[in-house]
Chain A
Amino acid sequence: MRSGLLVKLALLLAVFGILSSGITGYYAFTANRTMLVSAAQGDLLTAARGVNRRLQQAEEEAADDAMLLARLVQVAQVINGQGGSQMQRARDELAQAFAGMLALHPEYLQVRLIGAADNGLELVRVDSSGGLTLRVDGADLQEKGHFPYVFETLALPAGQIYQSAIGINHERAAHDAEGRPGMMVATPLPRSDGQPGGLLVINLDLERLLGQLRADLPKGYQLYMANRWGDFLVHPDPAQTFGFEQGRRILMQDSFAATQPLFERKLNNLALSGLEQPQQAAERVMAFVRQPVGLGNRDDFVVTGLVQPLDAVLESAVPLGQRIIHMVLAFSAIAILLAVVFARALLRPINTLAQAASSFSDTQLQQVLPVERNDEIGVLARNFDRMQRQINSHMASLYDNQRELSYLAHHDSLTGLANRALFFQRLEQLLQLSQRNGAPFAVLFVDLDHFKEVNDLHGHAIGDQVLQIVARRLLHTVRGSDMVARMGGDEYLILLQGNFTDAALAELMNKLRQSIGEAMTVSGQRLEVGASIGYSLYPRDGTTAEQLVNEADHAMYHVKAGMRGGEANSLSCR
């Protein structure tokens, strides 16, 4: 029973300890993973913004270069179409300047001056060809008026910058630029009369820009980029890019459904992870940023995305997870140990109390209890101790009462002598004993003479005192081992153990009569009483208590009858 409670308590405490350490460990682990993923998302977003910023920077640099070239005096000469030979010299000088610019910037594929007249005929053109600069001139110059970068730029006010969407360059004979993804950065060139005269355009190489960007990105990052319709421009698999060029739409929102709101212009950026959005970003962490391109009124943008495998992000969570498992196991073991120790410590005083209770119920002996404790067990022990004391005191008074009752039941209240019942009880015991060992004994019957007159003459109070004095005198006369009892009224019985001869008995009875007959002073009055005494002997006169008492009574009666009218109290002749 007690060990059952110990096991239960220990189990409860152990389970509680294991659970709390397990749950703490689990939460620490998940919180760590969430933090890692959220940090990775932040990193990816920052990196994606960095990619966009770098692209924007490249575009701004190209724009600055275009503006710089546009301010050359030769540009105005060519645009305004002044003179033949002077014009040709201006073109040659421009070509040299363009070539210098190309040589300086490997990410530039073409630098051109395109006229507004003649369907957008190129006026000065320098291409990058196999990494070198190549001037294109004469019949090889082409009409470009139908390309958006031409007609859109011509429509702009002076000093503005046009920036095209990113696309594959399909202009044949564009040398290095042909078939490569890129964008055009252009600025309009007004004639001296204010009419559009042409434009200066620089062709930027996206692959070269991205190549530098990719090299700067942390390992394991995958770079994606899509135009405003979602067509992939950059994808780890080049076959997935510029699908629209072949009439196929390979869209970012199909591969990454979560990016749809970016293309609906509802969001500017987005970060997802396989931890929180397992359906949209299974096993990956990704961030997408929408970046406006070119002038604000064109509402063009690209979406740049960076994707990282979730495993790579969570890799650093693995050692911590293992450490947490070890810690949880260790704490669980400690919890079990502590639970056992604690349960035992908690149950020890309870066991003490239980033992005290069981020992008290067996022996009424009070054990040492932990009453000095200040806790609930101390209160219990003190209460239990008090209860024990109360029980003990109640028991003691109960025994006293019982003894008193028993005394009252066997003694005469007036004289303090044994009463008839106790006398017969002792007589029966003695009979049983004597029947076995044959020991003889005697019963004496004492009756006071003329006691009625004492009562009538002096009152009951005096009579009672006389009875008490007689009782004391009887007790003093017989041996300590003999029994003197009051039968009631003025009759007394005496039980004498031992083998008595009639002579010895006669002598004893004389002593008794003398003792009773001595004068006594009661309440200032001198009184004298006599007594008649009869006796019976066991086994001579009877073998039952009744017989023996009756025989003694009869003998006393004979004595009284013989003595009636006489002065002296004499022994019967029996």
Chain B
Amino acid sequence: MAFNKISLLTGVIGCLLCCQLAVAKDVLRVLAWPGYADPDVVHAFEQRFQVSVEVTFVDSDEALWAKMHASSGPHFDVLAANTAEMQRYFAAGLLKPLDPALLPNTRRQLPRFRNLAAIPGLQQQGRLYAVPFTYSTMGIIYDRRQFPVPPDTMNVLWDPRYRHKVLDFNSGQHNFSFTALASGIGQPFRLSAAQQGMLVQRLIALRRNVLTFYSLPEEGTELFIRHKIALMFGNYGTQQLNSLRQAGADVGYAIPREGVLAWLDCWAMTAASSKPRLAQQWINYMLEPAVSALLPTRQGLANTLSASDELKPGAKVLWLQPVENAAQREALWQKIYSGDRPGSF
């Protein structure tokens, strides 16, 4: 009896080993943000392509950059990053061009995301390097009871009628960019020194008009409700809108006529990848309706396949790009945020 059991066990282990050796599964290494590659989604991909997928999550652009530059550890095959970061990665020679023929699901995308030339960072030297996956706009969230008609301009944030009824996000880069948009500057990511000087004064004016600057989405929601805020720069976009509505606020979402800042996360293949076909199968799989549909339901993010209520097809979107000098913007912003008066710049 015991002998039978042992021989059976040996047989089973032997079989497993044989199977393991016979298949010798490929391993795809994915570098992504939480929510982009949930275990069920990964498992379905592994089943379909008979491969093994290792997902590493990052929670900041800095962490992503550090992982891509790590000298030790395995090389990643695919990564998810926003358009501005993609330009950095391309410049550093870390990306490999994609073959559109291997990405048939891109044909399902909205026209806005198929117009590759209109989105900086997707193409380089005429070749495709990144495929849009998910995005979030940074529109204006407003209290519908205080605004019978939705605001249509960024300049409403400076309106003295709403003094101390405005919330802004505590961020140098975005504040300079949207103030530039509000001031009619065409290239908000490429500011001249003169433009910067002018924008500093406008940002001081904004500082005097806002109640405060928030950092965390929860913080924004709490301040909005407690201080009966009229307007808010929605840095976290539709996610923030949903959380405000859940908290009981009667809020609307407006895309100003000057255009709206938005981040767009894309999938790209690393130059180090030895499995380009599998990597592109992953990217194509991410654009399947069933997979992309999880972004709105699970993450409150928009996908690139279906139209969103908050972003009408004609609305002007400025996808984030690297700014002329991020450190300088941040230093200026720190002075503005700390309460420096106009004369000290």
Contacts and interface: CB of A to CB of B under 8 A. Distances in A.
B215 interface: yes
B60 A248 contact: yes
A143 to B, nearest CB: 4
A142 B339 contact: yes
Nearest to A140: B344
B60 A120 contact: no
B339 A248 contact: no
A242 B341 CA distance: 28
Interface string A147-184: 11001000000000000000000111110000000000
A139 B344 contact: yes
Nearest 9 CB-CB pairings of A with B: A142-B339, A172-B338, A143-B339, A171-B338, A172-B334, A248-B59, A119-B208, A144-B339, A146-B212
B60 A146 contact: no
B216 A146 contact: no
Nearest to A243: B59
Interface string B255-297: 0000000000000000000000000000000000000000000
Interface in B2-19: none
A246 B60 contact: yes
A233 to B, nearest CB: 13
Contacts of A139: 341, 343-344
A229 interface: yes
Contact of A145 (B208, B334, B337): B208
Contact of A171 (B211, B339, B341, B343): B339
Interface residues on A, range: 20 to 34
A168 to B, nearest CB: 10
Main secondary structure, interface of B, reads: mixed
B96 interface: no
Nearest to B336: A172
Interface string B319-343: 0000000000000001101111101
B216 A172 contact: no
Contacts of A246: 60, 62
B93 to A, nearest CB: 27
A247 B218 contact: no
Contact of A172 (B63, B211, B340): B340
B164 interface: yes
Contacts of B335: 172
B59 A142 contact: no
Interface of A: 119-122, 139-148, 151, 170-174, 229, 231, 244-249
B135 interface: no
Nearest to B341: A143
Main secondary structure, interface of A, reads: loop
Interface in B195-222: 207-208, 210-213, 215-216, 218
A143 B211 contact: no
B168 to A, nearest CB: 9
A247 B60 contact: yes
A174 B339 contact: no
B84 to A, nearest CB: 14
11 contacts: A122-B339, A143-B208, A145-B208, A146-B208, A146-B212, A151-B212, A170-B337, A170-B338, A174-B338, A244-B215, A245-B215
Contacts of A120: 339
Given A246-B60, A246-B62, A249-B59, A173 B218 contact: no
Interface in B216-244: 216, 218
Given A139-B344, A143-B207, A244-B216, A151 B164 contact: yes
Given A120-B339, A244-B216, A245-B215, A146 B210 contact: yes
A502 B208 CA distance: 179
A229 B210 CA distance: 24
A170 B339 contact: no
B1 to A, nearest CB: 28
Nearest to A172: B338
A146 B214 CA distance: 11
A110 to B, nearest CB: 13
Given A119-B208, A171-B338, A248-B63, 16 more contacts: A121-B341, A122-B339, A139-B341, A142-B340, A143-B341, A145-B208, A147-B212, A151-B211, A170-B170, A170-B334, A172-B340, A173-B338, A229-B218, A245-B215, A246-B60, A249-B59
Nearest to A118: B341
Contacts of B213: 146
A545 to B, nearest CB: 82
A228 to B, nearest CB: 9
A147 B338 CA distance: 9
